[in-house]
Amino acid sequence: MSEGDVQTIELDSPPSLTSLYARAVVAPVLPGGRDELPDRRLELRGAEMEAEHVAAYSRVCGFGVRSVVPGTYPHVLAFPLQMSLMTERSFPFSVIGLVHIANRIDVLQPIPMGSSVDFAVWAEDLREHRRGRQFDMVAEAEIEGATAWRGRSTYLRPGGGSDSPRSDGDEEREPAGELSVSAEWDIPGDIGRRYAAVSGDRNPIHMHSLSARLFGFPSAIAHGMWTKARCLASFEGRTPETFTVEAAFKSPLRIPGKATLRSGRRDGGWAFRLESPDGERAHLIGSLRG
Amino acid sequence: MSPPDRRPVAILGGNRIPFARRDREYAGASNQDMLTAALDGLVSRFGLQGERVGEVAAGGVLKRSRDFNLTRECVLGSALSPDTPAYEVQQACGTGLETTIHVANKIALGQIESGIAGGVDTTSDAPIELNEDLRRLLLDLNRTRSTTGRLGLVRRLRPGQVVPALPRNEEPRTGLSMGEHQAISTKRWGIGRAEQDEIAVESHRRLAAAYERGFFDDLITPFLGLERDGNLRPDASIEKLAKLNPVFGDGAGATMTAGNSTPLTDGAAVVLLSSEEWAAEHSLPVLAHLVDAETGAVDFVHGDDGLLEAPLFAVPRLLDRNALGLQDFDFYELHEAFASQVLMTMKAWEDPAFCSERLGRDEPFGSIDRGKLNVTGSSLAAGHPFGATGGRIVGTLAKLLTERGSGRGLISICAAGGMGVAAILEREA
């Protein structure tokens, strides 16, 4: 994407996710956009890392309250901007039916509680996936002009897969046996609603088994970004000041439910895997490194 | 029996988070959050990332039952090596100094080379328990197998039982709060209102001055936007304090106000101790040594002594054992639970009758030069998160001795349950 063609739109306030979801439901019946990602950048300046909200988020995800925000926290402020872009008429895909398959977060400098952050969000890198097409929603957070945080969420639009050789990281699958069990989690049925309350992401598939069934899920499932945050929180005390945490989202984690966290040292960092108690299904495969 | 060989115990430094008034900046932070923050600040100041220290001992007074392994949990969440063991001590306001003594003793005996001691308390994120009747009912219900038995128990449910039990700042055996207890002592010792307010104003003035000259720059890690103690009022004055109404004691004789009593606060403080060898290996300068300590208690329930009067006895015993007089100190850190507690302590040691009848001395124990007392302020200005106060004082006094170059300091902390903890710190020239 050449810099000259990018249209930058600055927002005064974060968009409401509730109305974006409403737009998302209506969008499929409206005329679709072109077959390429929009050259648009949404910006939101001066988002506050408000202590009370960070603390509420931390409690839901298992983080302690520190003077810096958890590495996954800025995502909840960037997500409404991503949704706003993805539900625009010009966006090539309906957001309903997109699958969040991966997320990478780079914390380039610690983000102090109470600081003011400028967000920019855009879509890039529409490419083939063996099960369809994939693209990245990128969010960057700056503090006083310096990039402090970057989040990259990869979405899959299933269908018309190329069956091309695997280049999408699906094969990074860590043999579970090499990671040792570090925790067994009992995940309560209301975790979707509790994460929704702190993230604003009230996607019906996370809220209740009835609403999840409407969208074809047998029961409610946990937010992918909650499972990632929960995994990162388990490395409290072992997370460097600046780091990269990656996650590939595999099978949905039904709630209420149980999950097993496995972890192990890898290349100076950590590899982890959240899986079903019988080890048959992986929910998330991730890594953390300084 | 001769005392066993004891190694010198070095104090290498302290770290705390600023103390916050209840329900202010730290309202959303738990004991675990605050203690971890104080610990991590210490770890980064002394370069202990990934280091296995001998042990971490800390504790808090207002603790939730789920925090049974609070200190160990904090260590696991900190940058210290997860191979560092930890445990808790609860000795009310004496906690932070008592943990220092425990760690120091293990170092002195050669059982560990280094250790971290301290404490924490939150009055904002306080534990709330089930109503006692409801708790017993639920336990009975759990033990009862038959349906009819259970139905019988359910009939015991009463609407009033939904009201939870809040933690109370009162002595279980007397039903009196600490302030009410001290009001009795204040009256008995004839401590006046004006002298209490003076102690309070001086505490604020000295703490503010210490901040101004950067004294706390290497003793405090800012937390959640707070950089100085939230209770500090640099502009506190006798006139302003004189306007406050008494909150403890009855009638015209009541003198204890919110201004000359410590407020409920949240915070955490820790100190780093080690053997001489460990300090040298880590190239860390020794600020001071912990020479000796004494913990005492009095029968405040049926006896003659007030709840906060144990230090009156513990300090003389400590000094006698070390062949020191009360004047042999360059700094006195008398924890200001209440201004009247400090005044009462000094008055008792000057009182010939008390010293002869209760301490069995021919001469009064002695006077304290006010110019050497709490020179960088104390709890009235900083606030007093119960478990954290000992760590705050040890860190402060060790630094004061370093600034002076050499000298000796005395710490005295009164505690609930009629207890008191005292210690001697020293820095050789």
Give the nearest chain A residue to B30 (CA atoms).
A65
B170 forms beta bridges with B177
Residue type, B212: E
B 203-222 residues inside an 8 A Cβ radius of A: 221-222
Residue type, B84: T
CA atoms within 13 A on the CB side of B385: 38
- Separation CA A21–CA B93 (nearest Å): 53
- Token readout for B338 is 């209440």
Pick from B71, B55, B50: which is nearest to B104 by CA?
A: B55
Residue A165: predicted pLDDT = 53
- Separation CA B230–CA B60 (nearest Å): 20
Evaluate whether B91 touches B98 at the Cβ level (below 8 Å): yes
Which pLDDT band, with edges at 50, 70 and 90, does A164 fall under?
Answer: low
Pairing of strands A7-11, A40-48: parallel
Q: A173-290 adopts what CATH topology?
A: Thiol Ester Dehydrase; Chain A (3.10.129)
8-state DSSP, B337: S
pLDDT tops 80 at residue A25? no
Question: Choosing among A65, A73, A232, which should be mutated to test the B contact, i.e. which has the most B CBs within 10 A?
Answer: A65
Q: Same CATH fold, A173-290 and A7-162?
A: yes
Please state, as a whole number, how many other Cβ atoms lie within 10 Å of the Cβ of residue B141: 15
Tell me how many degrees the CA angle A260-A265-A269 measures, rounded to the nearest 5: 110
Q: Name the least confident of A24-28, A210-214, B150-154, B228-232.
A: A24-28
Evaluate whether A114 touches A48 at the Cβ level (below 8 Å): yes
Residue A27: predicted pLDDT = 60
Q: How far is CA A12 from the centre of its chain?
A: 23
Query: How many residues are listed for chain A in this entry?
Result: 290
* Coil/strand/helix, residue A100: strand
Spans of chain B below 50 pLDDT: 1-2
* Coil/strand/helix, residue A150: strand
Q: B221 to chain A nearest CA, in Å?
A: 10
User: Chain B contact for A64, CB < 8 A?
Assistant: yes
Domains defined along chain B, listed by start: 178-214+291-427 (3.40.47.10)
| Residue B384 a catalytic site member | yes
Evaluate whether A38 touches A82 at the Cβ level (below 8 Å): no
Residue extents of the structural domains in chain A: 7-162, 173-290
- Token readout for B264 is 């409920």
Q: B40 to chain A nearest CA, in Å?
A: 9
Which pLDDT band, with edges at 50, 70 and 90, does A2 fall under?
Answer: very low
8-state DSSP, A14: P
Q: Which of B93, B181, B289, B335 is catalytic?
A: B93
CATH 3.30.497.10 fits A7-162, yes or no: no
8-state DSSP, B19: P
Residue type, A112: P
Residue B203: predicted pLDDT = 98
Q: What is the pLDDT of residues B386-421, one digit of tens each?
A: 999 999 999 999 999 999 999 999 999 999 999 999
Residues B225, A113: C-beta atoms closer than 8 Å: yes
Tell me the whole-structure pTM to 2 decimals. 0.90
User: Chain A contact for B223, CB < 8 A?
Assistant: yes
- Token pair 């990245």 is found at A136
Better-scored residue on pLDDT, B272 or A218:
B272
pLDDT tops 60 at residue A174? no
**ipTM rounded to 2 decimals:** 0.82
